[in-house]
A and B are shown apart, each in its own frame.
Chain A
Amino acid sequence: MNSGEKRTLFEKIWDQHVIHSREGYPDVFYIDRHFIHEVTSPQAFDGLKKRGIQVAKPNKTIATADHNVPTKDQHLPIKEMLSRFQVETLTQNCKEFGIELFGLGHEKQGIVHVIGPELGLTLPGMTIVCGDSHTSTHGAFGTIAFGIGTSEVEQVLATQTILQYKPKTMRIEINGELKPGVLSKDIILYIISKISASGATGYFVEYAGTAIEGLSMEARMTICNMSIEMGARGGMIAPDEITFEYIKGREYAPKGEAWDEMMNYWKTLYSDQGAQYDKVLNFDANDIGPMITYGTNPGMGISIGETIPDQPGDASFKKSLDYMGLSSGERLLDKKVDYVFIGSCTNSRIEDLRLVADFVKGKSKAPDVNVWIVPGSKAVEAQAKREGLDKIFLEAGFELRQPGCSACLAMNEDKVPAGAYCVSTSNRNFEGRQGPGSRTFLASPLTAAAAAITGKVVDVSTLLKKEAHVI
């Protein structure tokens, strides 16, 4: 590498972590932080046992139980036998291999991509992996973070390295001002609707531009979280003062001299002026309105007032609309909603809960809607209670549950029934994702809150205008 070469942020971090490179072979790539959970780790630990080897660097792996846990009565033993066994297996493996576990009931437990950042375990410049595709969330801090399969979890446990091919790079710039009622969730749903669910496959994305720079860390996480929904290996945002301010003082963040040393390093983490990307896309923030999806992949999204498009002769498109019980040319506005789910690693952080609470304060949910609010972590839950948000939700008739992935993937008992429509702040609207036969409309927490109150799909920006709310 000659020192005069201009490099992207991605390339800087990548180059720094390559231990061995050979033509035709994947790089041996070093991992700084490894998160594990109950669902994709047991077979990896089994692999270690079969080989008779230990975890190479136990202090670089952190475990939590999230995917499969109940979100009610977490103090009681898990009722469902297979779920309980899976969580117990994780506990056993962590004990045996010396890994720190924030298990069910632990004050630091939560969705893996919520607790990493909030504990200060996610730091700029790191390489981060987890057996979960939404590991891309951590990219909001200027990290190379991506989801891996269980065989790769085993690689990392065994060696703290992983075999990787360098992806191509893509820059997505969003400049301009966001309109009232438009959140970072709308930005990412908009981008995916423009480039499709496979539009960034093979790429690692860097998000930039004034609309991104103006976002809080939590809003940035929502964007990076959904990078995988356009096929990207991951997504990242260069760290800045907002990032450093967020990290400072968090439990596992560096302190004192170590902090100063890190800051010197972190300040080098940006894409050089004139660095080349394999692909560059530009969007104008002002074009983005509240978004909603109508189909069964996150690329099937529209601005909330638009009609569902047509793709004549496309069997997959037709199958998707049939599943959703919708047709081309139809509007989603005023569509009756049965469930509202506010949660998941996309939108279950304290800012999301605050936004929702601010909107619903003094109102009640529509009579026929079931509303679940599932905080992303014990810390978010505790903070919400400190701020009295729980009371606002209770008065509105919302059900505040305990932390976990919940109806995002419906592995536990939180399932949307077959045929029911759910406005969800999660990241996937796949067939059956929220329960067999469930029909998901992905949207922002504000749009979800508005659906909870009105019982239908509404354009939250018009409601805000009426209420003269300022968001």
Chain B
Amino acid sequence: MSFEKFSDTAVLLPLENVDTDQIIPARFLKATTREGFGENLFCDWRFNKDGSPKPDFVLNQETYKGSILAVGKNFGCGSSREHAAWAIGDYGFKVVISSFFADIFKNNALNNNILPIVAEEQVMDRLFKELQNDPATEILVDLPNEQWSFGGKSYGFEINEYKKECLLKGYDNIDYLLSHKQAVESFEQKHILN
């Protein structure tokens, strides 16, 4: 699956320090497959105890729609559960934009074809305001050129060469690692901790 240039509207969640226990609470980690986690994305913010939707949570409103998630800083902190990235992807998000991501989450997102875009705080402020004023704001995401834009302004973002190639060409990490098998074996012969 390749990651071409596209534009879409965004869902606004301007909270900071959103941890992976909020993205997908631990009690949903009992599955042994990768599918279906989207249903429980942000479960405790999204649903009451009886399963009814909480009307004031953004995912339960008609206002914000789209495959882009705009969030506050330090998104995805906490546990290493990849289930958080699976839940976000399974729900239908392809891009998450924040001023700051927790390391493990960022990695997990990239490993699941979700693009985390890091933007400067002032740009995030502008984006939040723009989305508050006009929820239909279109955001253009152009991975090949490492750019994104909204409201007539365009910004660069950083992604390392390898991850970009993975997203664009559908490279597989394990195939890449397996291609070093020979080197691993000669390493092990000399390795003191082997």
Contacts and interface: CB of A to CB of B under 8 A. Distances in A.
B90 interface: no
B173 A163 contact: yes
Interface stretch (B29-37, B59-67, B135-143): B29-37
Contact of A432 (B15, B17, B25): B25
Interface stretch (A126-134, A275-283, A334-342, A456-464): A126-134
Contacts of B21: 409, 428, 430-433
A28 B103 contact: no
Contact of B187 (A30, A152, A261): A30
A436 B160 contact: no
Interface in B157-194: 160-162, 173-174, 176-178, 180-181, 183-184, 187-188, 191-193
A426 to B, nearest CB: 12
A46 B192 contact: no
B183 A197 contact: no
A432 B30 CA distance: 17
B123 interface: no
Nearest to B101: A201
Nearest to A48: B174
B25 A159 contact: no
A68 interface: yes
Contact of A25 (B161, B183, B187): B161
A89 interface: yes
Contact of B160 (A132, A161, A165, A316): A165
B28 to A, nearest CB: 9
Contacts of A148: 80, 104
B103 A231 contact: yes
A319 interface: yes
B77 A231 contact: yes
Interface string A149-172: 111101100111111010100000
Given A125-B193, A161-B177, A432-B44, A198 B73 contact: yes
A147 B102 CA distance: 12
A319 B178 contact: no
B74 A155 contact: no
Given A149-B85, A159-B177, A436-B49, A431 B22 contact: yes
Nearest to B191: A30
A198 B79 contact: no
A259 interface: no
Contacts of B26: 67, 409-411, 433
A305 interface: no
B93 interface: no
Contact of A202 (B22, B44, B103, B178): B103
Contacts of B16: 314, 316
Interface residues of A, number: 71
Given A154-B174, A159-B174, A198 B80 contact: no
A83 interface: yes
B38 interface: no
A149 B107 contact: yes
A10 to B, nearest CB: 15
A470 interface: no
A89 B32 contact: yes
A466 interface: no
Contact of B183 (A20, A296, A319): A20
A51 B100 CA distance: 35
A276 to B, nearest CB: 22
A42 interface: yes
Contacts of A377: none
A203 to B, nearest CB: 9
Nearest to B178: A159
Nearest to B194: A32
Contact of B32 (A19, A43, A132, A436): A43
Given A25-B162, A155-B173, A160 B184 contact: yes
Contacts of A193: none
A233 interface: yes
Given A28-B180, A297-B77, 18 more contacts: A25-B160, A25-B162, A30-B188, A39-B30, A42-B33, A43-B34, A46-B32, A46-B33, A51-B174, A89-B32, A149-B104, A149-B107, A159-B174, A163-B173, A202-B103, A261-B192, A316-B15, A430-B19
30 contacts: A24-B161, A26-B162, A28-B180, A42-B32, A43-B32, A46-B34, A67-B29, A125-B192, A132-B80, A133-B104, A147-B80, A149-B111, A155-B173, A155-B177, A159-B174, A159-B184, A160-B184, A163-B162, A163-B176, A167-B103, A201-B102, A231-B77, A233-B103, A262-B192, A297-B77, A314-B16, A411-B26, A428-B78, A430-B21, A436-B49
Interface of A: 19-20, 24-26, 28, 30, 32, 39-40, 42-43, 46-47, 51, 56, 67-68, 82-83, 85-86, 89, 123, 125-126, 131-133, 135, 147-152, 154-155, 158-163, 165, 167, 197-198, 201-202, 231, 233, 261-262, 265, 296-297, 299, 314-316, 319, 409-411, 428, 430-433, 436
